[in-house]
Amino acid sequence: MKVLVAGGAGYIGTHTCVELIQAGYEVIIADNLCNSKMDAVYRTEQIIGQKIPFYLVNISVKSEIEPVFMENKIDGIIHFAGLKAVGESVEQPIEYYQNNLNCTLMLCEMMKKYNVKKMVFSSSATVYGDNEVPFTEDMPLLPATNPYGESKVIGERILQDFIVAHPDYAVSLLRYFNPIGAHESGLIGEDPEGIPSNLMPYISQVASGKLSKLKIFGNDYPTSDGTGVRDYIHVVDLAKGHVKAIEQLEKNAGVYIYNLGTGRGTSVLELVTTFEKVNQVKVPYQIVGRRAGDIAECYAGVEKAKNELCWAAEKNVEDMCRDTWRWQCYSIK
């Protein structure tokens, strides 16, 4: 089966390419490198020991993406392409809606025209909003608090409507919790431009001395130690979840929705302490006020993915901290 990995040069995309190829899939990447580098593709090729066909294209532009479908018999798509910085989405809402929604719409148009019947879509736990934990797939979604989150809610809706009109097609909506960690080779991982806004890259850059100290956003939440709780999932486990999802779509039609998380919450302070212990480094921090838009607690209900996809996360927070640090020391300049 030939899979187009849209946005495949990015953080989750590169890890998923490795798992797909190791599971026997043929992979093609389409990416405009707006938030990634060609070097990540070369490193992915180094891990798997083979070349990956790569198209430098803007997926939302028909004249750029259509040749990819004309030149290849694509059987399925894994759609990672999108902008993902929450704060930036508040400052540039139109760019976020334009890019994220037009990529999804264009891929649907190509699926219809070239008879590609399977798509796995990157959604996010952000679609649950400030719901009761654990978040389960049957919960009514709450309104998103930023354009990035809303683009995921609308993306899910577009794909559900697409399947109503094309019931012989199949779509999997994967709601990721907090992906962190890196490939154990140390060759690929997350390398955000500028000052990171997410916790793990920030911790890792403080440990390396690139940043002086971590600001912990609030210690007055109703959680075990007052700091925010999240369901951190190793990016390699997440990538394996995509292989299971595409496998499931090979045999089925319709819409499938799954949480990809561990089902376990970890507080900011627990993550900092584990990172320090596992890697024998110091992460100086300071408690500051809450960050606007943050919720106290977020973790996944994992039963549905376990029962229907036969997938469960295997790596723990120690693994995530160790692999992040290996990547930080080995590869980030």
Contact call for residue 82 and ligand NAD (CB under 6 A): yes
Query: Tokens at residue 111, please?
Result: 């699926």
Contact call for residue 99 and ligand NAD (CB under 6 A): yes
Indicate which of ligand UD1, ligand NAD, none lies near residue 199 (CB less than 5 to 8 Å, by partner kind).
Answer: ligand UD1
Closest contact distance (angstroms) between CB of 57 and ligand NAD is 6
β pairing state of 266-267 and 229-230: antiparallel
Residues 6+ apart with CB under 8 A from 64: 57, 58
Task: With CA atoms as reference, report the closest residue to 28 among 74, 89, 93.
Answer: 74
> Cα separation of 176 and 158, whole Å?
18
Contact call for residue 124 and ligand NAD (CB under 6 A): yes
Q: Please name the helix (run of DSSP H) or strand (run of DSSP E) that holds residue 26, with its range, or none.
A: strand 26-31
Contact call for residue 217 and ligand UD1 (CB under 6 A): yes
Indicate which of ligand UD1, ligand NAD, none lies near residue 86 (CB less than 5 to 8 Å, by partner kind).
Answer: ligand UD1
186: left (phi over 0), alpha (psi -120 to 50) or beta: left
How many residues bind ligand UD1 (CB under 6 A)? The answer is 20
Encoded one letter per residue, x for contact with ligand NAD by CB under 6 A and - for no contact, window 167-186 reads ---------x--x-------
Contact call for residue 146 and ligand NAD (CB under 6 A): no
> Cα separation of 151 and 135, whole Å?
19
> Cα separation of 219 and 139, whole Å?
28
**Cross-strand pairs, 287:** 216
Question: Is residue 258 annotated as part of the catalytic site, yes or no?
Answer: no
Indicate which of ligand UD1, ligand NAD, none lies near residue 22 (CB less than 5 to 8 Å, by partner kind).
Answer: none
Please give the distance of CA 59 from its chain centroid, rounded to a whole number.
Answer: 18
Contact call for residue 230 and ligand UD1 (CB under 6 A): yes
Query: Tokens at residue 8, please?
Result: 């495949």
User: Packing angle between helix 199-207 and helix 317-330, nearest 10 degrees?
Assistant: 60
Closest contact distance (angstroms) between CB of 208 and ligand NAD is 20
The active-site residue, picked from 55, 96, 128, 148, is 148
Which 82-121 positions form the footprint of ligand UD1 (CB under 6 A)? Answer: 84, 86
Residues that bind ligand NAD (CB under 6 A): 7, 9-13, 31-36, 58-60, 80-84, 99, 103, 122, 124, 176, 179
Residues that bind ligand UD1 (CB under 6 A): 84, 86, 124, 126, 149, 178, 197-199, 202, 214-217, 228, 230, 268, 291, 293-294
Residues with a catalytic annotation lie at: 148
